[in-house]
Amino acid sequence: MNFIADEFKDIQIGALNSAGDDVNLLDDIIDVSLGDHDICTDKRIIDSIYKNEYISHTMYTHPLGDERFRAEISSYCNRYNIDIDINEIMVTIGAGHGLYLALKSIINKDDEVIIIAPYYPTYIDQVKLNLGKVVVVETCIEDGYIPSIEDIKKCITSKTKAIIINSPTNPSGSVYSKELLKEIYNLSRENNCIILSDEVYTVFTYGKNKFTSMLEIDKKLTNTVVIKTMSKDYAMTGWRIGYIISNSKIIDVCRFVNDSITYSAPNICQSASIAALKLSDDIGENLKHIYWKRVEYGYERTKTIKNLNISKPQGGIYLFIDLSQTKFDGNEFRDLLLKERILVLPGEIFGDKYKNYIRITCNKDIKILRKVFDKIEELCNN
């Protein structure tokens, strides 16, 4: 007898999820697929755990998170000129967990959620898991993958419940201006829908580009859920700590949902995160410096390779490369690189329009990235 629920009987594991399997199956592979660091968590964060009493790390925290951690988050957010009560914060097991709880809290069956492509693939899955309907706003390389407010307006209907935004974006590295974010916020107020702002790569903005949080715009948290994480900005992916900031009504529902799932996030990891926030500027500047050199190198190499096209990343840790002038689509190119023990992601998982793309994570030293781009150049010249 097949016990699998009907909605999951025909599931297919996507390239993002299967990438981890590929890494484990092949020896000596250069993995530039997943958005993980090659940089260890700062030793000062790790050492901070041992300075505290062990007993404080072995119990549950409050379901919304350790009060000390939430107080530190509130203090950290003062840089956005906003005063946040600790009951407007919920600690989660990473940003994905936070997004799921937020969607579960607001989505009714067949509510529409606007997602801007190219998008992080999990957005699609999470909306569908919560019985919502996905509405995609397409963007293009000529516009740096930044939507116009008119493009978003065209997708608004009476069923629109939410707009998911992500800046700096994964995979394109585009950074939304404060003016555009204000326009999106005003649009949400006019149409009684909510913004889910995925703010994962906040320290990774380059050149004159500046990160703007939705907390700077919606200071009363009327129409906004902000989702943040310790993973990328602090090189703490494996610690699995994120957090949601929103009005207390939404936070209360997120807590209710989560009480039946995980109850609270790992205590010891929250304790380490307190130390991380205290060191945020120092750690962030170091990571930003490392990744900008890598992103800049990858961008410049891509421009020199025949038939490749790329929009210069304004932020983030990725390169989103257009192969449409080559003889390969993203899946074909991925397979060719995999034979050479290099793992990238095909562009189609970031939106149907991007089948002729690949995404590269700049999570390796430039010496290793040079090997990746040497092989890409060789394939493009054959």
Angle formed at CA 146 by CA 170 and CA 195, multiple of 5 degrees: 75
| 322: β partners | 309, 357
Residue 1 has pLDDT above 90, yes or no: no
Domain 6-41+282-381 identical in fold to domain 59-279: no
pLDDT of residue 199: 98
Classified as helix, coil or strand, 290 is helix
CATH numeric code, 6-41+282-381 = 3.90.1150.10
Contact 214, 224 (CB under 8 A): yes
What's the mean pLDDT in 50-70?
Answer: 83
pLDDT of residue 19: 52
Angle formed at CA 71 by CA 69 and CA 75, multiple of 5 degrees: 115
| Domain definitions of the chain by residue range | 6-41+282-381, 59-279
Q: Mean pLDDT, the chain, as a whole number?
A: 94
What's the mean pLDDT in 218-246?
Answer: 98
Reported as a single tens digit per residue, the pLDDT across 325-379 is 999 999 999 999 999 999 999 999 999 999 999 999 999 999 999 999 999 999 9
Q: Which fold has domain 59-279?
A: Aspartate Aminotransferase; domain 2 (3.40.640)
What is the Cα–Cα distance from 77 to 215, expressed in whole angstroms? Answer: 8
Phi/psi-derived region of residue 81, left when phi > 0, alpha when psi is between -120 and 50, beta in every other case:
left
Phi/psi-derived region of residue 275, left when phi > 0, alpha when psi is between -120 and 50, beta in every other case:
alpha
What is the Cα–Cα distance from 10 to 292, expressed in whole angstroms? Answer: 41
Tokens of 99: 């997004």
Burial class of residue 150, CB neighbours in 10 A (0-12, 13-18, 19+): exposed
pLDDT of residue 69: 96
Alpha helices in 227-348 (DSSP H): 248-259, 267-278, 280-304, 330-339
Confidence of residue 7 (pLDDT cuts 50, 70, 90): confident
| 134: β partners | 113
Reported as a single tens digit per residue, the pLDDT across 97-122 is 999 999 999 999 999 999 999 999 99
